[in-house]
Structure formats: structure tokens, C-alpha cells
């Protein structure tokens, strides 16, 4: 029991001596409070409480109330609507993830299992939304905005305009604000966001709207496990864009890459998948423009002299025609997706010449000239990417020790049972060659 000493007589003294009971209780409470304040735990707890009280309004303003992310599936015919769906949802404050399904029955099964919140089917101007029990308000608003945008695009097209150009002009519209009494607001929020970005708490890839374009090296010919819905385009679940999307969970992802594509067919049949909302594009292109398939068939079937002649013709096309063709396709991509980071990947050299003498098949002369042609082609692709301010991603060093004639080749040699896969990356070539290089350059 503690003892309280009696002070000099004064206002708190009472007749007969001793302290007033309230005075005693007050002194004891004060002593206990001072003791606790001096402890480290009390100081830490108090600091946390102060931060919580001060930070709560800022946190609410900065991050808003919690909002669940909805997952929307797209039927194959609607694959090009991935980015518009994300953009429409954001206008009403709803974040969505978009998945392209191989077919409608698969989408319905995903709905039934709860892995999808809605499935979009039908033509852009006559959309059908499939849901389990209906749409919540936010998702309904998002689809309404989407349908209105599609109707507007159709009207612009009928009037002879370009919907992408109109959307780009609208997105570029801006205005300036002049404050009479400018004052910094929410400075703490800006610092917090900077720290979050620096620490990688919110990776940029999770906010990406990603579209994969290009030829058979991007569609995944040779990698197996093809989507039946892709038809003759032979899009593979093992193509480098698929594991990247699985690993990075972008806001939207679609591949429209197609076997046999050239710069002109990319422009005519693939760019509809792009929009001002697209933030990431990958592409392999150029090989078919210079007759890659014909050259390889010539080298396999005919003599070395005929092979060398065919390679020479292709190299002449690389110098004379390919630079302009590459400029055309990259400029068209920039026009359709002005906010996108465009990653242009090249092609591997096919043969490990150090092991050519012990490797059955083409002559070493054929192989040497084919490798030199691949270097020339890749040089033209790199130069085009530079001229158009795009990102060049070189896969050649990644395929070193995994070329044809190596024991662990990531490239198909001639496959007489499936000639289409000849001289294309295997599944390992996509995952070990293209995927890490694209991941490094995707940003």
C-alpha cells in the first residue's frame, strides 16, 4: 500500500488533520497516469492511435470504400472488346478483370461455378449479357456505358468516320485550371502513392490492358495445346503471351496473333483489338513478308545453290521493302493504341553452327546463310522499332545452346508429319525463350 504524505495545511486540509478523500484519489490517479505515460508501450500505442485518427480521412479520400473486382468473360467473337469493357467499367468506378473464353458453353460453366460474374456474347451493337441471377448495379451501369459506346462507334462508322480517331481526339481533350489561392492538398497521399509505387505494392502490370499481335511465333505454332476457337490461326495456350498474362493478371488480355500473318494482314485483321485503353502490345512480324516459309521449303527440298539463291532474294526484300512495311504496321498500331507500350520481338537464329558437322539435314552452307539472313531480318526489325519509338526485345541470346543441332533444342527441325510446325519454337522455346525476354521488356 502506498503512503501519501500530508502537505502543509491549506485549502485541502480539513479540521482534525488528513487529506480530503477526493484529493487522495486524484493524487493516486495522477501518479499512475504519469508512470504509464513514461512506458515505451504506451508511447507506441498512442502514436498508432494518433496515426489512425489522422490517417483515416486521408485513407478514405485516397482509396475510397472497398470495392470488389468483378470478372467478365468474353465469347470468342467479342475478344476485341476486352479493353473497352475495362474502360467502360472504370467510368462508373468499377474495376473488372476480363477473360476471353474459348467458347460460350465454357463461359456458362464458369458462370455457374462462380468464377465469372457475367459473360458477354453477340455482336458489339447487339450485346447479350449472360448472368446467374442478374447484374449488380455497378456492373449493369458498366455494360450500359459499353453498349452506348459500341452504338456510338457504329454510328460514326456508318457516317464514314473512324471511331478510333474520334476516341483519340476525345481522350486528348484537356483544360487548364488556374487557382486564385493555390494550396497543396493531400501531400501525404502523394508521398504514400510514391512509396507504394517504389516498393512495387501495386505492379503496373496488374493495371495493363494487353493485346498480343503478330504471326505464328506469337500465336504459338509448334508449342501445341491450341485453342479450337482460333481455327487456322493456331493460337496456343503455351504461347509466351499466355503465361505472362497468367503470371501478371492484367486488367484485360487478348491474343489475336495468327499463323501466316504479314504486316498487311496485321493492319487489316488484327488492329481492331486495339483501342486508346490498350496499354501494352507485343508483336512478332516480318518473317512472312520476306517469304520465310518459301525459303525454308526451298532449302529443305532443293539443292544448296537453290537454297542460297532463295535466301538472297529474301535478303533483297528485307532491304528494299521490309523497312516501309514495318513502318506501316508500327505506325498503325500507334494510331490505334496511342497510350500503349509496344514491344517488338525478333526471331532466333535457327542453327548452332558449331555442331553442324555432326547434325543431319541441311548443309552447313545452307545453315550459315539461314542464320545470316535471320540476323539481317532481326536488324531490320530492331531498326524499325527504333524509328517508331517502340521497345525492341531480342531473343537470340536466350536461344543460345537451344538451337537446332543442340541436344536440348527449343526449335522444331523439319517435321514431315506436321510440316507447319517446322522451324518454330517448341513449348519450351516459348516458355524459356520468348516469355522471359518479353517479361523483361513489358515494363
Give per-residue pLDDT as tens, 76-108.
888 888 888 888 888 778 888 888 888 888 888
Where among 129, 157, 185 does a domain terminate?
157
Q: Are 382 and 401 within 8 A, CB to CB?
A: no
Q: Let me know whether 72 and 147 are in one domain.
A: yes
Instruction: Decide if 180 is inside a domain.
Output: no
Domain holding 141: CATH number?
Answer: 3.40.190.10
Cα separation, 90 vs 276, whole angstroms: 14
The CATH number assigned to the domain holding 258 equals 3.40.50.1110
288 and 243 assigned to the same domain: yes
**Closest Cα partner for 110 from 72, 80, 140?**
72
Quick one: 147 and 222 in the same domain? no
Distances (CA, A) of 68 to 71, 74, 100, 107: 10, 19, 20, 21
Q: Residue 109 and residue 87: Cα distance in Å, rounded?
A: 26
User: Does 88 lie in the same domain as 54?
Assistant: no
Under DSSP, the state recorded for 438 is H
Classify 286 as helix, strand or coil.
coil
In-domain check, residue 10 = no
pLDDT digit string (tens) for the chain, length 443 residues: 444 444 444 444 444 444 555 554 455 555 555 555 455 554 555 555 545 544 544 454 444 444 478 888 888 888 888 888 888 888 778 888 888 888 888 888 888 888 888 888 887 767 888 887 777 888 888 888 888 888 887 778 788 877 777 766 665 666 666 656 554 443 454 344 345 445 555 455 557 899 999 999 999 999 999 999 999 999 999 999 999 999 999 999 999 999 999 999 999 999 999 999 999 999 999 999 999 889 998 998 899 999 999 999 999 999 999 999 999 999 999 999 999 999 999 999 999 999 998 998 899 999 999 999 999 999 999 999 999 999 999 999 999 999 999 999 999 988 877 878 889 999 999 999 999 999 999 98
Q: Does 37 reside within a domain?
A: yes
Residue 83 to residue 332: CA distance in whole angstroms? 18
Q: Rounded distance, CA 240 to CA 372, Å?
A: 25
Instruction: Say if 166 falls within a structural domain.
Output: no
- 428 classed as catalytic: no
**Catalytic pick among 275, 277, 424, 431:** 424
Which of 98, 124, 157 corresponds to the end of one domain? 157
Among residues 216, 230, 251, 356, the one annotated as catalytic is 216
| Residues spanned by the domain of 328 | 206-441
- 271 with 150, same domain: the answer is no
- Does the active-site annotation cover 305? no
Q: C-alpha distances in angstroms, 418 versus 63, 405, 413? A: 54, 19, 11
Fill in the DSSP letter of residue 68: P
Same domain, 352 and 254: yes
Name the domain count of the chain.
3
pTM over 0.85: no
Cell numbers linked to 130: 449472360
Choosing from 90, 123, 157, the residue where a domain stops is 157
- Among the listed residues 256, 294, 299, the one whose alpha carbon sits nearest the alpha carbon of residue 274: 256
Amino acid at each position: 500500500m502506498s503512503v501519501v504524505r500530508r502537505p502543509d495545511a491549506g485549502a485541502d486540509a480539513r479540521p482534525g488533520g488528513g487529506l480530503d478523500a477526493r484529493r487522495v484519489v486524484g493524487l493516486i490517479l495522477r501518479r499512475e497516469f504519469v508512470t504509464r505515460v513514461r512506458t515505451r508501450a504506451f508511447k507506441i500505442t498512442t502514436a498508432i492511435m494518433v496515426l489512425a485518427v489522422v490517417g483515416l480521412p486521408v485513407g478514405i479520400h485516397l482509396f475510397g470504400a472497398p470495392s470488389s473486382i468483378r470478372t467478365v468473360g468474353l465469347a470468342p467473337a467479342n475478344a476485341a472488346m476486352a479493353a473497352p469493357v475495362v474502360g467502360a467499367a472504370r467510368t462508373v468506378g468499377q474495376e473488372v478483370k476480363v477473360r476471353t473464353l474459348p467458347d460460350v458453353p465454357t463461359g456458362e460453366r464458369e458462370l455457374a461455378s462462380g468464377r465469372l460474374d457475367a459473360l458477354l456474347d453477340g455482336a458489339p451493337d447487339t450485346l447479350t449479357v449472360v448472368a446467374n441471377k442478374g447484374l449488380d448495379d455497378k456492373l449493369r451501369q458498366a455494360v450500359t456505358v459499353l453498349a452506348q459506346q459500341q452504338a456510338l462507334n457504329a454510328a460514326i462508322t456508318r457516317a464514314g468516320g473512324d471511331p478510333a480517331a474520334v476516341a483519340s481526339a476525345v481522350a486528348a481533350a484537356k483544360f487548364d485550371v488556374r487557382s486564385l489561392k493555390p494550396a497543396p492538398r493531400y501531400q501525404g497521399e502523394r508521398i504514400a502513392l510514391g512509396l507504394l509505387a517504389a516498393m512495387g505494392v501495386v505492379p503496373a502490370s496488374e493495371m495493363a490492358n494487353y493485346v498480343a499481335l503478330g504471326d505464328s511465333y506469337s500465336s504459338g505454332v509448334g508449342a501445341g495445346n491450341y485453342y479450337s476457337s482460333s481455327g487456322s490461326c493456331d493460337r496456343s495456350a503455351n504461347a509466351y503471351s499466355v503465361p505472362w498474362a497468367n503470371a501478371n493478371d492484367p486488367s484485360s488480355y487478348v491474343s489475336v496473333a495468327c499463323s501466316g500473318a504479314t504486316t498487311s494482314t496485321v493492319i487489316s485483321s488484327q488492329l481492331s483489338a486495339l483501342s486508346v485503353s490498350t496499354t501494352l502490345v507485343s508483336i512478332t512480324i516480318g518473317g512472312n513478308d520476306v517469304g520465310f516459309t518459301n525459303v525454308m521449303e526451298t532449302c529443305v527440298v532443293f539443292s544448296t545453290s537453290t537454297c542460297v539463291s532463295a535466301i538472297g532474294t529474301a535478303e533483297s526484300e528485307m532491304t528494299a521493302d521490309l523497312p516501309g512495311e514495318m513502318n506501316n504496321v508500327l505506325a498503325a498500331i500507334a494510331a490505334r493504341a496511342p497510350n500503349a507500350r509496344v514491344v517488338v520481338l525478333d526471331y532466333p537464329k535457327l542453327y548452332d553452327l558449331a555442331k553442324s558437322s555432326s547434325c543431319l539435314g541441311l548443309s552447313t552452307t545452307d545453315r550459315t546463310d539461314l542464320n545470316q539472313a535471320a540476323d539481317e531480318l532481326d536488324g531490320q526489325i530492331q531498326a524499325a522499332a527504333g524509328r517508331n519509338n517502340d521497345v525492341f526485345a531480342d531473343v537470340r541470346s536466350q536461344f543460345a545452346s537451344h538451337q537446332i543441332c543442340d541436344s536440348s533444342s527449343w526449335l522444331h527441325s523439319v517435321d514431315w508429319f506436321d510440316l507447319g510446325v517446322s522451324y518454330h519454337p517448341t513449348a519450351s522455346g516459348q516458355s524459356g525463350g520468348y516469355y522471359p525476354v518479353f517479361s523483361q521488356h513489358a515494363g
